[in-house]
Amino acid sequence: MAGELRGIAAAVALMAVLTGCGDGDGGVWGGDDKPVHLDSSQMLMALPSKLSAPQGWEGRDPEVKTGSEALEACQEGTETNCAGLVALGNTRFVEKSDSSDKRIKFGLVSFDSPENAGVAMKGAVAQARQDVEGAPPKALNLDIEADAVEAFADTDDASVAIRIDSVLIFMEGDDVKDEAKLKEFAQLQIDRVKKASAGQNPDA
């Protein structure tokens, strides 16, 4: 998981170079409202399930980590203290086709406040910004509502980073860079985070 989170951090840095990383106070969920927050059980519900896979795609069992294992992965991926870290997890969708290598990787990292989530996102950007090489990838516009959204695509793949209050969402599209398809997957993940944070099972 540490290596996967490090790869996500590098993707965030590339997006920050292209578009800058917005990080306002409060956000679209209401400045004075309780921040969107996921504990480990809620994160397990929030991660896309096999049942939620769109037609033509199949899901994998999600994994959630807490405690020292999650902290080590977060610190390695962001080079911050990861203060307020609650949990992190991941899963993926794979296209149902013997001739396709398309897949969408989902990653969630939850903190106890928007401020701590923002610090971790900025840390990931700073840690990997110096490693950006070659021609800049293409910036993407997913047109989704969140506190911070960064997205880019190179020749074959795409990466997306989203913050909604105290939750960071990361997506990596292997051989998937269409803006409409990425928006569809991003909105699915955002909706699941919102429901799970309210104590609702998104698959109910």
pLDDT at residue 121 in the model: 78
pLDDT at residue 126 in the model: 62
Whether 38 is in a domain gets the answer yes
Whether 148 is in a domain gets the answer no
pLDDT at residue 83 in the model: 96
Whether 50 is in a domain gets the answer yes
pLDDT at residue 90 in the model: 92
Contacts of 117 (CB under 8 A, 6+ apart): 84, 109, 110, 111, 163, 165, 166, 167, 168
Mean pLDDT across 109-130: 78
For 19-39, how does the pLDDT look when each residue is reduced to its tens digit (9 = 90+)? 444 444 444 444 445 568 899
Specify the CATH number for the domain of residue 102: 3.40.1000.70
State which residues form the domain around 169. Answer: 2-23+34-132+154-197
Q: What pLDDT band is residue 132 in, cutting at 50, 70 and 90? A: very low
Whether 67 is in a domain gets the answer yes
Contacts of 75 (CB under 8 A, 6+ apart): 81, 82
User: What's the pTM?
Assistant: 0.84
Mean pLDDT across 131-142: 71
pLDDT beyond 70 at 158: yes
pLDDT at residue 76 in the model: 85
Whether 178 is in a domain gets the answer yes
Number of domains in the chain: 1
pLDDT at residue 127 in the model: 58
Mean pLDDT across 174-178: 89
C-alpha span between 101 and 200 (Å, rounded): 33
Is 151:103 a contact under the CB 8 Å cutoff?
no
The residue count of the chain comes to 204
Quick count: other Cβ atoms within 10 Å of Cβ 48? 24
pLDDT beyond 70 at 159: yes
Q: What pLDDT band is residue 136 in, cutting at 50, 70 and 90? A: confident
C-alpha span between 21 and 41 (Å, rounded): 29
Comparing C-alpha atoms, which of 179, 175, 197, 176 is closest to residue 187? 179
pLDDT higher for 48 or 79? 48
Whether 173 is in a domain gets the answer yes
